[in-house]
Structure formats: structure tokens, C-alpha cells
Amino acid sequence: MQTIAFWILAVGAVGFGVAVFVVDSMARATFALLASFLCVGAELLLLDLDYLGVLVVLMMIMEMLIMAVFMIMYMMNPGGLMPMTMVHNHRGALAISITAFAAMAAGVLLVPWPERRGTPPPDPTYSLGEAIMGSKMLVMMVIGIAILATMISAVVLATDRGRYDRPSRAAARDGGGS
């Protein structure tokens, strides 16, 4: 049953990933990208990588929310539902993507892969977390603060009042308005 679910999620992830470039609006592309990453997160959960699976799901939901905020703020078509072309320079993009795919496929097939040494750890999620966070806790804390500052900056930029919308202190002191 898990194998069937894995393959259904794998096909869904690839299908939604393709849909990102096929649909004709930013809103649909955003939801297709979210669906693709949710399929990947569910696959990680099926592989008993609970921490990574939940992390991918939560990060993708937050990322898509932030993307929606920026889409509403900066796009001429805020809802993103008017048709538009999502790919520019079709021939160049197709040539680059086919070349990149061929190079990666050749790498997979032609590289002599090393033999596995040792056995997998009993809890791969804990081992991965220890490997990532071990001596880097300070770095992760600083990154967390940087992400928080970025979110606060995005909210400040989203407000309709800017620096010059407020009356100056001199005008307020003299009784003048804006």
C-alpha cells in the first residue's frame, strides 16, 4: 500500500511541477507549486522522515503565503487570474532544459557510484538533525532572526502609507497639516 501511495504522490509531484510552467496565471502556478511540494512532503512522511516531511509541508505553506502577499503587492494583475505567458524565450528554455536533463541523466548512468559502507542509523531523522544542527545552532538562530526581519519588512512594505505620507514634525509643530 505504501509503494502505491509513494508512486501516486511521485506522479502528482511531477505533474504539478509541470503544471507550474503550463498554466497561464501566477495564482494557478503558485497553487500548482504548493501542491507539488505537498506531494513531496507526503512522500517524506511515507519514508518515515517525519521531521523533514513536516518541515517541507510547513515551509511550503508559509512560502506560498508570502508569495501571495508579494503577488498582491507588486503585480499589475493582483489576483493572478488573467491569462499570461509563464515561459519566455520558448526555444532557448527548451534547449537549456533538454541539455540539462541529458547531462544529469548521463551523470546518473555513467558515474561509478560507491558501494555503501556501514548500515543506516536506527533513526535517520535524528541523525540528520544532529548532523545539520550539531555545532551550527548559533547560525540557525541568526538565520531565524533574519527570516523574521524579512517577514516584518514585507509587512511594512505592504502598508499603503509610506515615509512621505506622514506630516513632518515641523509642520505638526507649526500647526500646519500635510
| Domain regions of the chain by residue span | 1-81, 135-178
- pLDDT (tens, 9 = 90+) of the chain, 178 residues, equals 989 999 999 999 999 999 988 887 777 888 899 999 999 999 999 988 888 888 888 888 888 888 877 776 777 665 556 666 666 788 998 899 999 999 999 999 999 988 888 888 888 877 877 777 777 766 777 888 898 899 888 878 877 665 566 655 555 566 555 4
Cβ neighbours for 137, distance < 8 A, ≥ 6 positions apart? none
Q: What is the model's pTM? A: 0.54
pLDDT for 87: 65
